[in-house]
Amino acid sequence: MQTVSKSKRTRWALRDVLLLAFVAVFIGFIFWILGPVYNILSAALTPFGLAPFANDMILGGWMMAAPLASILIRQAGAGILGEVFAAAVEMLIGGQWGVATLLSGLVQGIGSEAGFALLGYKDWHWRGIFVSAFTGAVITFVWSLFRDGYASYHIGLLIGLFLTRFVSLLFFGGVLVIAIQKLIEKSGVLKRG
Amino acid sequence: MNPLIKFGTIMIIALELTFIKSVTINLILVCISALLYLVLKINWRQWLWLVLLPILPGLGSWFSLMYFGTGDHVHMAWVMLTRVFAYLWLGGLFTLKLTDERTLFLETLAQRAHLSTTFVYALVGVLNFIPAVNQQIKTIRIAAQMRGNTLHIWHPQLYFKAILSAIRWSQNLAEGMVSHGFTEGARRTHLTVVHIKKHDWIIATIILVAFQILLLPHWY
C-alpha cells in the first residue's frame, strides 16, 4: 500500500515524485512497445495522405501519463510533470521527433492539467477527467496547427483530425482513466494521509 | 560544452523551428548537425538511426499536405518533411552524447539550475529502472496470456497492473534512497562542483544570435 501525501503544500514529497515518474515511464513504455503497430498503421495510411489520423488516433494514449499522474497524486502540476517525465523518457529511448518530443510533452501536460485547473483542482473524478480530456484535445490541436503544419490542411480534414483526436482523448484520457481509477480504488492500494 | 547549456540552446532553436516555415533553415540545421556528428564521431548505427527514423513521420506529413493541403501546401509539405529531420538531428546532438554526459547534466541541473534534489535524484533513480520497466510490462502481458487473457492497450487491467508495479517500485526506491542517506530538502555538499565555463555561455549566445540573423532573409 502506498500513502500519497495529502498536503496542500507545493513542496513535493520524494515518494510522490517517484510514483509520478514511474507511472510516466510505464505509460511511455506501454505505448513504446506497441510502436511497431502504430508505425505499420501510419505507413499504411501514408500513401493515401491520411497518416496524421494514425497520430491523432493514438495521441490520447501518449497523453495518459498526465491524467493518471493527476488522479494519483492529486496535486497541482502533477499532470505537467508526469507528461514531461514521459516525454523525456520517450526522447531518451529514441522517439521519432527528437527534442520536439519534450516541447510536445510540455504542451500535452499543460493541456491535460488545464482541465483539472479549471475545476480549481477539486474534482479528481470523472468530471475532472473529462474536462481534462477536452482541454487536452483543444490545446494540443492548437500546437499541431503550428508544429505539424495542420494550419495548411483543408477545413474538412482538420475537422476530421480534431474529431479523431477528441475521441482518442475521450477514450484513453477519459473512459480508460476512469476505469483504471475504479480498479485502484476497489483494490485499496492508495491511502491518502 | 556543458550539457545543460547545450540542451537549452537546442530547445530554444527547436521551439523557434516550430514556427518557422522554411525548408532552407531546416536543411541548414541538418547540415550543421551532420558536420558536428562528423566531429563527434558517431558510429554507423547511429547514422542509420538518424537517417531512417524521421522518414515515416516525415513522409506521413508530406503526403497528407500534398493531398489535403490548401494555400501554399506544397511548400508546407517540404517544410514538414525537412522539419522532422531537423528536430531529430538537432536533438541527437544532445541525446546521442547523453550516455557519457548524463551525470554531468544531472549535476548541473542540481547545482547550477538549482532544481530540487528530490527531482534530480528521482530522475536518476527512475532512469536506471528503464530496462526493468520494459521487462515488467512484458511480464505483465505474458502472465495474463497464461491465464488466457491478452491485455491490449485498451484494457484498464494492463495499466492497473503497471500502476501497481509503479507503486511498489517507487516505494522501494524511496525507502532505498532514504536508507542510503538521502534527506529531502537537506543542503548537500558536492564531491565535484560543477562550474559552467564562461566560454560555454559565449558560444551559446553566438549560436543563438547567429541563428536569429540567419532567419532575417526570406528563405524558401
What confidence tens digit (pLDDT) does each residue in B70-127 have?
878 888 899 999 999 999 899 888 888 877 888 888 888 888 888 888 888 888 888 8
One domain, residues B85 and B122: no
Q: Shortest Cα distance from B196 to chain A (angstroms)?
A: 22
CB contact under 8 A, A46 and B170: no
What is the pLDDT, as a whole number, of residue B73? 84
Q: Which of A30-34, A156-160, A165-169, B154-158 has the lowest mean pLDDT?
A: A30-34
Q: Which of residues 118-177 of A touch B (CB under 8 A)?
A: 146-149, 152-154, 156-157, 171, 176
| Angle separating helix axes A78-92 and A14-33, nearest 10 degrees | 50
Q: CA B117 to CA B103: how far, in whole Å? A: 13
Q: When comparing pLDDT for A1 and A5, which is higher?
A: A5
One domain, residues B13 and B101: yes
Measured CA to CA in angstroms, residue B52 lies from B55, B59, B85 at distances of: 6, 11, 10
One domain, residues B137 and B173: yes
**B131 inside domain:** yes
What is the pLDDT, as a whole number, of residue B99? 76
Interface A:B, Cβ pairs < 8 A: 217
**B187 inside domain:** no
Q: What is the average pLDDT across B176-189?
A: 86
Percent of chain A with pLDDT over 90: 39
What is the pLDDT, as a whole number, of residue B28? 93
One domain, residues B68 and B93: yes
Q: CA A177 to CA A164: how far, in whole Å? A: 18
pLDDT band at B54; cut points 50, 70, 90:
confident
What is the pLDDT, as a whole number, of residue A101? 85
A48 close to B (CB below 8 A): yes
From B57, B89, B125, residue closest to A96, measured CB to CB: B57
If one counts the domains in chain B, the total is 2
Question: Could you identify the residue written with the cell 495510411?
Answer: A45
For A55-112, how does the pLDDT look when each residue is reduced to its tens digit (9 = 90+)?
Answer: 888 888 888 999 999 999 888 889 999 999 888 888 777 677 777 888 889 999 999 9
pLDDT at B148 over 60: yes
What is the pLDDT, as a whole number, of residue A156? 87
Q: CA B78 to CA B65: how far, in whole Å? A: 9
**B186 inside domain:** no
**B184 inside domain:** no
pLDDT band at B147; cut points 50, 70, 90:
very high
Complex ipTM, two decimals?
Answer: 0.85
Q: Shortest Cα distance from B35 to chain A (angstroms)?
A: 18
The domain in which residue B102 lies consists of: 3-107+192-215
What is the pLDDT, as a whole number, of residue B190? 83
**B97 inside domain:** yes
Q: Quick one: which of A53, A99, A69, A57 has its CA closest to A177? A: A69
Measured CA to CA in angstroms, residue B112 lies from B1, B4, B116 at distances of: 15, 9, 11
One domain, residues B170 and B211: no
**B206 inside domain:** yes
One domain, residues B14 and B95: yes
**B86 inside domain:** yes
H or E element that contains A192: strand A190-192
pLDDT band at A169; cut points 50, 70, 90:
very high
One domain, residues B46 and B130: no
Q: Which of residues 165-194 of B touch A (CB under 8 A)?
A: 165-167, 169-171, 173-174, 177-178, 182, 184-185
**B50 inside domain:** yes
CB contact under 8 A, A42 and B60: yes
One domain, residues B22 and B100: yes
One domain, residues B95 and B13: yes
List the single residue in A with minimal CA-CA distance to B140: A30
List the single residue in B with minimal CA-CA distance to A89: B127
One domain, residues B76 and B148: no
Question: Could you identify the residue written with the cell 525548408?
Answer: B23
One domain, residues B103 and B200: yes
pLDDT band at B170; cut points 50, 70, 90:
very high
pLDDT band at A163; cut points 50, 70, 90:
very high
Q: Chain A residues with CB inside 8 Å of B29's CB?
A: none
One domain, residues B61 and B148: no
